[in-house]
């Protein structure tokens, strides 16, 4: 993950430190010495709490000298500390953008844009904004001297997108570039990730070989900065190769080493691996405990509000930059106007300026509306995700697993835990996608219904009907669009009924639309509304789903809708969506 600065010998670092300590004046050379020292040593001692004060002093001296290079590099270093050492990407993003704003104004600093843009790309990557990150890193391929880092980061993105062959290709290209410079740190880091991706792709022998090579390099060259990430990856690789004891060893050691760094993403991955290790060993109590910690931490690592805030910061940054450029342009046009008036052609130029300003205002209004609409899209999708997998369902499921364990019903606990883990994995994987295959969505719904059916002791049955005119492997729909209605049917409709419940889920084609329906024989909407009203709760599923469909209608110029049909016994929900084919 850390691929921004060079790895030097301790002798050079010590020599730099002595020069800095004996330097008598605070000039630009003094600032350059301090930035070089930071570049060489900061990542070797990431737990040193004095680095923040050190970089703040460099920034202060640079500001007094009005030294752009010093300010840009100091802001970037402060961003790195917030980003990697303090696990605060929001604050880091502010500092990275401050650095980039200075670089953009000074063409002589263009070469430093690579490091700053890489850091911004890494924040998007860590927050699973993979398309944004990929666009940034592919732009950086134009800088040959930085291709090791760029290939490595592109490989990481493709790995998380499950495009494993592409990921393996870029990792191998990164290794070739790193070998040109004989960069042991980069080679060890890349081989660690390559081994994990090869393992996930089914190339177990190659994956294990690269993992072992990475671990050997880390130990041989004492690459302390890589130990945590290398150990986490090794634990997953050994688990896939059924080396359970080694997997437990490296996952446990990764957690211990990570205590000083407090990297939430690393801790989350190690906990997930340990949960699988304990399950393989039959220690379901430890497996449940590790999995609970993993679920809670996962919500913090991929925090939807944090992602939305990052997007807002990016939009705000671009808006501020555009306003600054516009202001400079306006001042320039004023000067031209005054000069032209003196030359006798003021009237014509004034007309041109008025036209340009009018067009700019119209463009600004259009961009504002577009930004507001994009924000609504993001906000709605995030609300939908929170509605689809709410904390009540998660903790009720975990409590059900705990009950099985206390009753010594390990088989039921294992089955339930497996289904619950599958649902969580599928939901998280699909949460970033605007559309998925109908077959994938049906698989998600089946898993969800099986969990709820087991939790409510088989109080209901369900069937899923698909029109022969529809090909589930070629129809795309928004993920989990029916889940809020199924939840309402089960919790408010069927659970209140005294007879065996029945849910019928159907998908059919009508007038170039796909009709997705949920039909139950519960107590009906009237009684359900009364219960909800008495509990002073507001049903969010219908509102969120209608908002999602409104956005689809606006983007695709369609007429999707949601209908509620009251029956003599139970309720029927119909969601109509435009048919979208995968190919």
**Tens of each residue's pLDDT in the chain, 583 residues:** 333 333 434 667 777 788 888 888 899 999 999 998 888 888 777 778 888 999 999 999 999 999 999 999 999 999 998 888 887 888 888 999 899 999 989 989 888 888 888 888 888 887 778 888 888 888 888 777 778 888 999 999 998 889 999 999 999 999 999 998 888 999 999 999 999 999 999 999 999 999 999 999 999 998 888 888 899 899 899 999 999 999 899 989 988 887 776 677 778 888 888 888 888 888 888 888 888 887 777 766 555 445 545 554 554 555 455 555 555 565 666 666 666 666 666 677 767 777 777 777 777 777 767 766 665 665 555 455 445 555 556 766 777 777 778 777 788 778 888 888 887 887 777 766 778 899 999 998 998 899 888 888 888 999 999 998 899 999 998 888 888 888 888 888 887 788 889 999 999 998 889 999 999 988 887 776 665 555 555 556 677 778 778 877 877 778 889 998 988 888 999 999 988 888 7
Concatenated DSSP letters for 15-28? HHHHHHHH--S-SH
- The pair of structure tokens assigned to 351 is 């007309």
Beta strand 460-466 with 501-510 is parallel
Quote the crossing angle between the two packed helices 541-556 and 346-388, to the nearest 10°: 140
In this structure, what token pair is assigned to residue 345? 């052609």
234 half-sphere exposure, CB direction, 13 A CA radius:
27
Asked if 266 contacts 250 with a C-beta cutoff of 8 angstroms, the reply is no
Pick the CATH number of 10-224+231-239 from 1.25.40.10, 3.40.50.880, 3.30.200.190, 3.50.50.60: 1.25.40.10
Q: Closest Cα partner for 577 from 519, 518, 515?
A: 515
Class of 433-581 in CATH? alpha beta
Q: What is the DSSP letter of 88?
A: -
């Amino acid at each position: 993950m850390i691929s921004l600065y060079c790895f030097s010998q301790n002798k050079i670092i010590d020599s730099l430190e002595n020069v800095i300590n004996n330097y008598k004046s605070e000039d630009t050379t003094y600032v350059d010495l301090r930035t070089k020292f930071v570049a060489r040593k900061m990542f070797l001692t990431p737990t040193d709490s004095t680095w923040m004060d050190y970089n703040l002093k460099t920034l202060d001296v640079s500001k007094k000298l009005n030294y752009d290079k010093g300010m840009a590099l100091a802001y970037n270093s402060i961003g790195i500390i917030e980003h990697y050492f303090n696990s605060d990407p929001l604050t880091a993003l502010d500092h990275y953008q401050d650095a980039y704003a200075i670089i953009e104004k000074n063409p002589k600093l263009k070469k430093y844009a690579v490091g700053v843009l890489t850091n911004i790309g890494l924040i998007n990557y860590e927050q699973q904004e993979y398309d944004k990150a990929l666009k940034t890193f592919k732009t950086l391929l134009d800088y040959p001297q930085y291709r090791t880092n760029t290939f490595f980061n592109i490989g990481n993105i493709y790995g998380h997108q499950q495009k494993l062959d592409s990921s393996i290709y870029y990792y191998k290209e990164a290794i070739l570039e790193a070998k040109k410079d004989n960069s042991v740190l980069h080679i060890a880091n890349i081989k660690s990730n390559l081994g994990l991706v090869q393992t996930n792709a089914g190339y177990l022998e190659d994956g294990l070989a690269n993992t072992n090579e990475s671990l050997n390099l880390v130990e041989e060259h004492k690459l302390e900065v890589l130990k945590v990430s290398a150990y986490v990856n090794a634990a997953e690789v050994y688990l896939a190769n059924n080396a359970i004891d080694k997997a437990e060893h490296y996952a446990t050691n990764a957690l211990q080493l990570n205590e000083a760094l407090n990297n939430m993403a690393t801790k989350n991955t190690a906990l997930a691996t340990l949960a699988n290790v304990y399950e393989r060993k039959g220690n379901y109590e430890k497996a449940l405990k590790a999995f609970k910690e993993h679920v809670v931490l996962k919500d913090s690592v991929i925090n939807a509000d944090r992602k939305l805030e990052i997007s807002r910061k990016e939009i705000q940054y671009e808006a501020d930059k555009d306003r600054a450029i516009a202001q400079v342009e306006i001042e320039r046009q004023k000067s031209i106007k005054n000069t032209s008036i003196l030359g006798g052609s003021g009237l014509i130029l004034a007309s041109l300026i008025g036209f340009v300003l009018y067009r700019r205002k119209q463009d600004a209004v259009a961009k504002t509306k577009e930004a507001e609409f994009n924000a609504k899209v993001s906000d709605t999708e995030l609300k939908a995700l929170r509605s689809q997998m709410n904390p009540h369902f998660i903790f009720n499921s975990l409590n059900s697993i705990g009950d099985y364990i206390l009753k010594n019903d390990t088989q039921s606990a294992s089955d339930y835990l497996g289904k619950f883990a599958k649902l969580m994995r599928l939901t998280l994987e699909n949460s970033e996608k605007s559309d998925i295959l109908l077959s994938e969505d049906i698989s998600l719904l089946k898993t969800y219904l099986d969990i709820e059916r087991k939790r409510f002791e088989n109080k209901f049955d369900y069937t899923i009907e698909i029109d022969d005119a529809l090909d589930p492997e070629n129809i795309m729909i928004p993920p989990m669009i029916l889940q809020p209605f199924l939840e309402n049917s089960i919790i408010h409709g069927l659970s209140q009924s005294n007879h065996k419940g029945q849910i019928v889920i159907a998908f059919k084609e009508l007038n170039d639309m796909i009709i997705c329906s949920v039909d139950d024989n519960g107590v009906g909407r009237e009684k359900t509304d009364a219960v909800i009203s008495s509990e002073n709760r507001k049903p969010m599923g219908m509102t969120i789903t209608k908002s999602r469909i409104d956005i689809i209608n606006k983007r695709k110029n369609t007429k999707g809708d949601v209908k509620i049909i009251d029956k003599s016994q139970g309720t029927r929900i119909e969601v109509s969506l435009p048919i979208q084919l995968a190919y």
